[in-house]
Structure 1
Amino acid sequence: MQAWQVHEIGEPREVMRLTETEPPTPGAGQVLLRVRAAGVNFPDALLCRGQYQIRPPLPFTPGVEICGETPDGRRVITTPALPYGGFAEYAVADAAALLPAPDALDDAEAAVLHIGYQTGWFGLHRRARLQTGETLLVHAAAGGVGSAAVQLGKAAGATVIGVVGGAGKAAVARELGCDVVVDRHAEDVVAVVKQATGGRGADVVYDPVGGDAYAQSAKAVAFEGRILVVGFASGTVPSPALNHALVKNYSVLGLHWGLYNTKNPELVRHCHEQLTGLAARGAIRPLVSARVPQAEAAAAVQRVADGVTTGRIAVVPTPRNGAAA
């Protein structure tokens, strides 16, 4: 089979190599899946750079999110068990982690549903307890993680303010349903949020960026608001001033979605049921901005790493010898 492998740590475009190798052998409690589509995630770039919290042994195949097919023909979504990730014709996953792919979504859409929308649902509903009528501020609203939060916020009945970088991403954010869009390259984020909320600020802030975005969040959050720390795509981990949180009465909430897979896996399944229902009603639909063949996976991971994408990229294996890959 074809598989992208990383034999040394570095930038994705430099260390990912497309190779011919034997299909992996599942371990106890695992299953071999034919990959129907694989989502490209920022953690794939971090894996290549050796900066992710999980460091699989070299060589490994990145690709942390897939829509796959079981040996008995079921279409499922899951996070593969590294080192046998999804940028390959076949991947390995824990049988207990398989979830049915929503019928309302095609393979590429289903592949990119799992991590981003689970993260958004847990962040907004489990951690921040977002309420109908509240104002949600989403940083990087046109990106993969942010676009999911925008759709979930709208589905929950919130007013959504999206922060983006550039006119092109602003157009995407509007199409996603943002009520207000702020171009951080041309506007003062805090001023726009204050104006849009009558000076009150945002009840919930969804921040997958960190760095300067977190500083803006602290200034733009409302009294008794909640700042959700989801990630640090900027590369800078902020050091929040806790005295500011004390004076302004807001909460800073962390979210590591992966922990729920071990701490409360039933809640992950419950979340998937909620997402499947939302997809069936058309309330959410992953924004797949590009569907690329297997040969372009490394370039796609690098584009995500460089922050130049909107929505999500899906890698769709190319059929070989007239059969599905």
Structure 2
Amino acid sequence: MSWDLKVAEIQKPYLTDKDIWQSVHRFYYHGKTTTTYKYGFLKALLESVPSANEQFEISFDHLFYSFTKIYWNLVIHNNLCQSNSQKAPSSVQKVLEAFAATHAIPREWSFDQLPASQQLQLIAAVKKVGKKYVIGATYSDFNGEIYSFDLKKEYLQLHPTYYRFFQTHKRMLTNITNYQLALFLEKFNEAEKVSKLLTRVEVVTQRKSLLQFSQLLQKAGIEHCFYCHKKISKSSHVDHFIPWSYIQSDHLWNFVLSCSTCNTRKNNKLAAENFLQQLITRNNQWIKEERYLLQFENYTEKKLTEFYQYSQLNGFIHDWKPSQLRE
């Protein structure tokens, strides 16, 4: 059975978008689903695409960081059952609940509130389960087309056409995945737990605080708004240059400091292309500094430019500019 595979290769080197749409439809609407694994893992995979290297490889550490965060916030923070039987919880649910009980972690804590050491322990435990039940099963769900993988080396390699397809249709695929996940959860959880369920699923991996990145940016000596150049105060905002609702992951190379006015007015829009060039110039300087090496893992100027272009294809309003620039 495919879920038990240790190593697997991509079965179809050449794919068209039509081929992928057929596989995506089968995945969403015709597969057997007894837990939320398939939706949770695809959501994590979509979120991990920005972490892929130039060979379209994604490490399991990146994948299962997202996967663990999704499931912690669903299972512990939102107290939602992840299988079609409350008497037979999924393996990941068991791991999370045991971890929370052992460490006396309050259920109101989101994943980001866990100490870094506990996050790493938890990711390792969830990754062990995911390698056993999720990687091969998803490979099978997509008929061996979506990626190759090696459980021992702990990475998967996306099919190049899937990589492009995910970027081109990411907003739609994320919304469909969220909907299917919420639909499953609604069926197998008590009514009082599913209030505003889709909204909770949509933001399940959004950070509660960007203070860590704000401090990094401020330590770099940034004193002016990235957009309007106004001198910023302690109440400055960390802005996702390419909107979080497209990338849905946090990277220093996509963060800028802005004043509250620009951050509010830009909202879910793309800034004009001259700001992209400004960000590329900044990143090209920072990537040379040793203190930022981990923050710029697998970053390239080409990747940032492509994400900017792909987000336009996903319908984000672009060419936003502040109403008044200060020299």
TM value normalised by structure 2: 0.31
Higher strand fraction: Structure 1 or Structure 2?
A: 1
Structure number with the bigger relative contact order (C-alpha 8 A, sep ≥ 6) is 2
TM-score when normalising by structure 1? 0.31
Q: More helix per residue: 1 or 2? A: 2
